[in-house]
């Protein structure tokens, strides 16, 4: 789909491109005119004046780079602003306007301050909502993209069974909602986080999007990790771009919310000082993964949390509200994962749980899994540990006492063992004595000294 003509969002939401088109096969095309940006000339004018106000004197090439556009796109607008006595040229290197140093006139400074008082957003020109929605739809994974080999590679650092991979695979491949439940300490969060390694393809995330004249900050360096820094450095020495620089090329995002999640965090957040919006977490997670950890432990009830997701999960669109009460429709193309220590019936009834497409119980490890985890973790920390020693530890502290095994126990006990070895100045090797001390220092005793 070209980004040339304005179109309704509903047309984009019903995007009917090739569902099997590989991620990374498309790039946001470089705008050649102001019309191609999809943004009104007046907004770009405001951004030029605000950039000059904040920076003082700016060379044309640098100004265009700050806006994420080629200088040829804004050159005519710069001439218009000069004719209107809003900016002037201080000096030039003799290579045309692109090498000229621009600064605001007094009239330009006055107008820039008015614009800043209305909205202080400055930087890359926003991407219109319809262009953003189009790109999100094209970047979603096609059917059948995930293979068992790719899944095994993602979990090669973990001890996982074929049954577990067979349960995870269809859920991830579908991109639909997924509930992982089970006892604490069995690696539910770790399992979900490892999915970040499943897909190494890049996606494009805009610095900001525009809708109804409002600006929404999208790019967040906490969640969006650029993969094209070398190309960005090279672009400083050339006027050519391989893609629209209003977008960042990043890894697919992985975002986690825990018990701190509130419903207001899932809507547009208006900052009254700069007077523009910050995108909610699920919007930032588009084309990636959004994990709601400790589901059921939030301040709001599980029903309230899940009700918030009913429409997005079913229709693949979300409705966000501006401060003035108007709404915007955005694509919902993140893989939504719920992880909980609670039993499913504690979250809601059957009809409630049916809203979540896939469910998986993360069971406690059997003896062989526990031993594999124990020995593998010990070796990863440089500790000598035979399977026989691990077997004796399992027998003495779990089988004989009936203590339940958890996947995190080997890591926790062995971490304590390392602390003990270092404190007691012992050689870096495990003994039954060290493991016994580590075990008892890690778990609360049922007996209290009165």
Mean pLDDT of 190-217: 92
Residues 106 and 237 in one domain: no
Q: Looking at the domain assignment, is residue 429 inside a domain?
A: yes
What pLDDT, on a 0 to 100 scale, did the predictor assign at position 25?
56
Nearest Cα to Cα of residue 73 among 104, 44, 103, 53:
44
- Residue 8 in any domain: the answer is no
Per-residue pLDDT, 185: 93
- Report residue 364 as tokens: 């406690």
In sequence order, which ranges of 316-408 are alpha helices (DSSP H)?
Answer: 344-347, 350-354, 367-380, 387-394
Any long-range contacts for 341-345 (C-beta under 8 Å, 24+ apart)? Answer: 341/181, 341/182, 341/183, 341/184, 341/188, 341/294, 341/296, 341/297, 342/181, 342/295, 342/296, 343/181, 344/179, 344/181
Does residue 48 carry a pLDDT above 90?
yes
- Give the model's confidence band at 99: pLDDT under 50 very low, under 70 low, under 90 confident, else very high: confident
**Antiparallel, parallel or unpaired: β 214-217 and 276-278:** parallel
Report how far Cα 164 is from the mean position of its chain's Cα atoms: 25
Domain presence at residue 31 = no
pLDDT exceeds 70 at position 448: no
pLDDT of res. 411: 96
Whether 279 and 208 share a structural domain: yes
Cβ count near 304 (within 10 Å): 12
Instruction: Assess whether 263 and 378 both reside in one domain.
Output: no
The reply to whether 186 and 331 lie within a common domain is: yes
Q: Residue length, the chain?
A: 450
Domain boundary among 96, 125, 154: 125
Q: pLDDT at residue 20 above 50? A: no
Count the Cβ atoms, other than its own, within 10 Å of residue 268.
21
pLDDT digits (tens, 9 = 90+) for 134-146: 999 999 987 778 8
Taking residues 297-310, report their average pLDDT: 90
What is the rounded distance in angstroms from the CA atom of residue 157 to the CA atom of residue 161?
A: 13
Winning range, highest mean pLDDT, from 14-28, 53-67, 91-105: 53-67
Same domain? For 323 and 426 the reply is no
pTM of the predicted structure, to 2 decimals = 0.86
- Do residue 348 and residue 232 come from a single domain? yes
Residue 248 lies in a domain: yes
pLDDT at 232: 53
Residue 445 clears pLDDT 50, i.e. is over it: yes
Domain-embedded: residue 229: yes
In whole angstroms, give the CA distance from residue 187 to residue 194.
10
Q: Is residue 77 domain-shared with residue 136, that is, in the same domain?
A: no
Instruction: Give the residue numbers spanning the domain of 117.
Output: 40-125
CATH code of the domain containing 72:
1.10.10.10
Residues 343 and 394 reside in one and the same domain: no
pLDDT value at residue 22: 43
Say if residue 179 is in the same domain as residue 191: yes
Which tokens is 301 given?
A: 């009830």
Between 22 and 32, residue with greater pLDDT: 32
**Domain contains 7:** no
Is 335 among the domain residues? Answer: yes
Any domain includes 108 = yes
* Residue 312: predicted pLDDT: 94
pLDDT tens-digit readout, 173-198: 998 999 999 999 999 998 998 888 88
Please write the tens of the pLDDT for every residue from 276-290: 999 999 999 999 999
**Mean pLDDT, residues 311-335:** 95
Q: Confirm if 228 and 402 have CB atoms less than 8 A apart.
A: no
| Domain match, 217 and 347 both | yes
| Pairing of β 208-211 and β 127-128 | parallel
Q: Which residues contact 450 (CB under 8 A, 6 or more apart)?
A: none
What CA–CA distance (Å, rounded) separates 432 from 434? 6
Q: List the single range of 152-156, 204-208, 407-411 with lowest mean pLDDT.
A: 152-156
User: Of 309, 340, 361, which residue is a domain's last?
Assistant: 361
Domains contained in the chain, number: 3
Domain ends where: 325, 344, 361?
Answer: 361
The helix/strand/coil state of 98 is helix
Q: Which pLDDT score, from 0 to 100, does residue 234 have? A: 47
Q: What is the predicted pLDDT for the residue at 65?
A: 95
Q: What is the CATH number of the domain that holds 296?
A: 3.40.50.300
209, 121 Cβ separation under 8 angstroms: no
- CA nearest to 58, candidates 122, 115, 114, 119: 122
For residues 197 and 231, the model is more confident at 197
- Neighbour-count burial of 387, counting CB atoms closer than 10 A to its CB (0-12 exposed, 13-18 middle, 19+ buried): exposed
Q: 258 and 284: one domain?
A: yes
Which token pair is 386? 């035979």
Are both 200 and 69 inside the same structural domain? no
């Amino acid at each position: 789909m070209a980004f040339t003509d304005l179109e309704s969002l509903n047309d984009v939401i019903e995007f009917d491109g090739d569902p099997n088109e590989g991620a990374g096969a498309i790039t946001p095309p470089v705008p050649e005119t102001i019309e191609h940006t999809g943004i009104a000339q007046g907004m770009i004018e405001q951004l030029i004046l605000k950039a000059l106000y904040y920076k003082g004197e700016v060379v044309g090439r640098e100004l265009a780079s700050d806006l994420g556009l080629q200088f040829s796109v804004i050159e005519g607008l710069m001439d218009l602003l000069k004719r209107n006595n809003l900016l002037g040229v201080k000096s030039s290197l003799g290579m045309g306007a692109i090498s000229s140093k621009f600064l605001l006139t007094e009239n330009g400074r006055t107008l820039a301050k008015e614009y800043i008082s209305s909205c202080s957003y400055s930087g890359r020109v926003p991407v219109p909502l319809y262009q953003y929605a189009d790109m999100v739809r094209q970047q979603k994974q096609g059917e059948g993209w995930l293979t068992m080999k790719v899944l095994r590679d993602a979990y090669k650092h973990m001890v996982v069974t074929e049954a577990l991979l067979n349960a995870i695979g269809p859920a991830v491949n579908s991109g639909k909602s997924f509930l992982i439940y089970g006892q604490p300490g069995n690696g539910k969060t770790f399992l979900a986080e490892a999915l970040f390694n499943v897909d190494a393809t890049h996606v494009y995330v805009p610095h900001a999007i525009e809708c109804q004249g409002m600006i929404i900050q999208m790019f967040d360096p906490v969640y969006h990790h650029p993969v094209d820094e070398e190309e960005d450095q090279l672009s400083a020495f050339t006027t050519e771009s391989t893609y629209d620089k209003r977008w960042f090329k990043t890894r697919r995002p992985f975002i986690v919310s825990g018990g701190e999640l509130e419903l207001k965090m899932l809507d547009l957040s208006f900052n009254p000082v700069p007077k523009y919006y910050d995108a909610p977490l699920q919007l930032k997670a588009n084309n990636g993964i959004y994990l709601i950890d400790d589901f059921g432990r939030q301040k709001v009830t599980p029903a309230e949390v899940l009700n918030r997701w009913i429409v997005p999960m079913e229709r693949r669109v979300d409705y966000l509200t501006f401060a003035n009460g108007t709404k915007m429709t955005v694509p919902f193309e993140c893989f939504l994962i719920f992880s909980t220590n609670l039993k499913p019936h504690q979250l809601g009834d059957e009809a409630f749980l049916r809203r979540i497409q896939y469910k998986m119980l993360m069971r406690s490890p059997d003896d062989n899994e526990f031993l594999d985890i124990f020995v593998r973790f010990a070796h990863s920390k440089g500790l000598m540990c035979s399977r026989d020693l691990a077997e004796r530890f399992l027998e003495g502290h779990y089988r004989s006492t009936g203590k339940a095994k958890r996947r995190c126990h080997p890591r926790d006990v062995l971490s304590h063992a390392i602390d003990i070895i270092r404190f007691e100045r012992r050689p870096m090797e495990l003994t039954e004595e060290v493991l016994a001390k580590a075990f008892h220092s890690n778990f609360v005793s049922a007996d209290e000294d009165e």
